[in-house]
Amino acid sequence: MSVGLPHLMFLSAVLLALGLYTMVTRRNAVAILMGVELVLNAGLLNLVAFSRFGRGIDGQVFGVFGVVLAAAEAVVALAIVLQVFRAMRSVDASRADRMKE
């Protein structure tokens, strides 16, 4: 029994799909953010997997960058969500559509 690239890819594909599903179906903006985190994690897993099973450390370096970007994104997005909540008393993303016009 051994674990190789296909298994890791499988895991990452499932994470990606579930993350996208979350992003599409949830109304709560914070839940959408959680979906984004899942998608990002799927990508990071791929980077690390290819770094381990390919050659070179670059994948993991990019993984570190990815984590940093995710952190920055989460902070700003949550600040926006809080602000939206303050303004509309709701975090229902399907109602935050005033920028439509």
Partner 1 sequence: MTGTVPTLAFWGLALLTIAGAAGVALSGHMVRSAFSLFAALFGMAGIYALLQADLMAVVQLLVYVGGISVLVLFAVMLTSGIGRVGTDNPSHRPIGGLLVLLAVLIPALGLAFRMPLGIESPADPTVAPIGDALLGRFVLPFEVVSVLLLAALVGAVNLARGWRRDPEERPSEEGR
Partner 2 sequence: MHHPILKDFPLFWIPLLPLLGAFWNGTQGWWTQRRFGRAAVHLPAVILPAASTVVAIWGFLVLWFGDPGTVLHDSLWAWLDIPPLRAEVAFQMDRLSAVMALVVTFVGTLIHVYSTGYMKDDPAYWRFFAYLNLFLFAMLVLVLGDNLLLMFVGWEGVGLCSYLLISFWWRDREKAKAGMKAFVVNRIGDFGFTLGVFLLFFGLMTTPARPVPPADRPGSPDVAGHLEPLPPTSVTFREIEQLLQDPSRRDLLVQRKVLGLSLVTLVCLLLFVGATGKSAQIPLYVWLPDAMAGPTPVSALIHAATMVTAGVYLVARMHFLFSLSPGAMTVVASIGALTALFAASIGLFQHDIKKVLAYSTVSQLGFMFLAVGVGAWWVGIFHLMTHAFFKACLFLGSGSVILGCHHEQDMRRMGGLRRLMPITATTYLLATAAIAGFPFFSGFFSKDEILWKAFDSGNLLLPGGGVLLWGMAAVAAFGTSYYMFRSYYLTFSGSYRGAGDHGADVASGHDADHHAPDPHGTPAEGHHGSLPHESPVSMTAVLAVLAALAVIGGLVGLPHLWHLPNFFEAWLEPVFESSAPRIVSAGHGHGWEWALMAISVALAFGGFGLARWLYRDARNPLPERLARSPNRWVRGLHRVVYHKYYVDEAYDLTAVRGALWTSRAFAWWDVQVVDRLVIWVGAIGRLLGWIGGAMDRAFVDGAVEAVGEMISGAGNRVRRWHSGRIQAYVQGIALGAVALVVVAYLLAW
User: Binding of partner 2 at residue 100 (CB under 8 A)?
Assistant: yes
Task: Read off φ and ψ for residue 93, nearest 5 degrees.
Answer: -65, -25
Residue 96 binding: pick among partner 1, partner 2, none (C-beta 5-8 Å cut-off by kind): partner 2
List CB contacts of 39: < 8 A, sequence separation 6 or more: 15, 16, 19, 20, 23
Q: Which of residues 37-96 bind partner 1 (CB under 8 A)?
A: 37-38, 41, 44-45, 48-49, 51-55, 57-58, 60-61, 63-65, 67-76, 78-83, 85-86, 91-92, 94
Helix, coil or strand: residue 88: helix
Report the residue from 9, 11, 20, 74 that binds partner 2 according to the rule CB under 8 A.
Answer: 20
Binding flags for partner 2, 24-63, as an x/- string (CB under 8 A): xxxx----x-------------------------------
In angstroms, the CA 43 to CA 46 distance is 5
